[in-house]
Structure 1
Amino acid sequence: MAPPEFDPSIHQQLGLLIGGMDALKDSIKRLEDQSRRSEDKAAKSREVVHRRLDDMVDRVSEVEQTVAVVKSDVSDMKPSVEALDDVVTSVTKDIKDMKPVTDEVKRWKLMGVGGLTVVGFGAMALGVTFADVLKKLLGTLLYR
C-alpha cells in the first residue's frame, strides 16, 4: 500500500472541526455556568419567599391569638354592657319622673322673683312715703 498523499484541505477541515468543537464546548460551559447562576439566584429568591411566608404565617398566628383574646374580652363585657343599659334605662325613667318636679320648682322660683319684685316696689313706695312724712314732720317741728 502506498502512503496516502498529503491533502491540506482535509487538514484544514479537521482544524475547522476541532475549532468548532472547542467553540461548542465553550458555549456549553457558558450555558452550564449561566444555568448554575440562574439556579442559585432562583434558590435565593425562593429562600426569601419562604422566609417571608414563614413571617406572614407567624404574624397571622399572632393576629388570630389576639382576635381570640379580644373575642373573649368582648364576651366577658357583654353582661356588663347589658347591666349598664338597664341602668341607663332606669336613670332615663327617673329623669322623666323628676322633670315635672323641676318644672314646678322653676315655676315657684319665677313666682318668688315676681313676688319679691312686687314687695320691693311696695317697700320702695312705703319708704318714699315714710321719708316724705318724716320730712314734713321735721320741717314742721324745726321751722315752727
Structure 2
Amino acid sequence: MPPTSLNDIYKAIGTLSAQVDGLRRDIDASERRAGAENREADEKRAQVHRRMDDLITEVGDIKTDIATITEQVKDSKTVTDDVKKWKAMGIGALGVVGIGGTALGVSLASYFEWLAKLFHR
C-alpha cells in the first residue's frame, strides 16, 4: 500500500535509511571477517608452499646422495672384482705349488729309495 501522507513518506524514508545503515554495517563486518579469513588462508597457503619447498630441497638432496652412493658402489664393485680375481689366482698358485711340492716330494722319496737300494747292496 503506497504512503498516503507526507509523514508516512518520511517514516518510510527513515525506515529505509535505517535498513540501509544496517546493511552497510553488515557488509562492513562481513568484509572484515572475510579479510581476516583471507589473511589466514594466505598464511596457510604460504606455510604449505614453504613445506613443499622444503620437501623439494630434501628430495634433491636425497637424489644427490643416491648418485654419490651409486658411484661409490661402482668403485666398491671394481675393488671387489679385483679381490675375487686375486683370490682365484692365489688359489691357482697354491694348487700349482701343491702339485709341484708333491711331485718334488715323490721325486726325492724315489731318489732316496734308489740311493738306499744302491748302498744297501
* Range into which the TM-score falls when normalised by the shorter chain: 0.5 to 0.7
72, 75, 79: which is aligned to 2:81? 75
1:5 aligns to 2:10 (yes or no): yes
Percent identity, please.
11
Three-state SS of the structure 1 residue aligned to 2:10 is: coil
Query: What is the CA RMSD across the aligned residues, in angstroms?
Result: 2.6
Measure the CA separation in 2 of the matches of 1:51 and 1:14: 54
Quote the offset at 1:32 in angstroms. Answer: 1.4
**Structure 1 residues 106-139: Cα deviation after superposition (integer angstroms, max 9, x where no partner):** xxxxxxxxxxxxxxxxxxxxxxxxxxxxxxxxxx
Measure the CA separation in 1 of the matches of 2:97 and 2:34: 90
The residue correspondences of 1:28-107 to structure 2 (distance < 5 A) are 28-89=34-95
Identify unmatched segments of 5+ residues in structure 2.
Answer: 106-121
Q: TM-score, normalised by structure 2?
A: 0.65
Measure the CA separation in 2 of the matches of 1:70 and 1:64: 10
Size of the alignment, in residue pairs?
96
Identify unmatched segments of 5+ residues in structure 1.
Answer: 99-144
Whose relative contact order is higher, 1 or 2, with alpha carbons under 8 Å and at least 6 apart? 2
Q: TM-score, normalised by structure 1?
A: 0.56
User: Which position in structure 1 is the counterpart of 2:27?
Assistant: 21
Larger radius of gyration: 1
Measure the CA separation in 2 of the matches of 1:22 and 1:32: 15
Quote the offset at 1:26 in angstroms. Answer: 0.9
Quote the offset at 1:42 in angstroms. Answer: 0.9
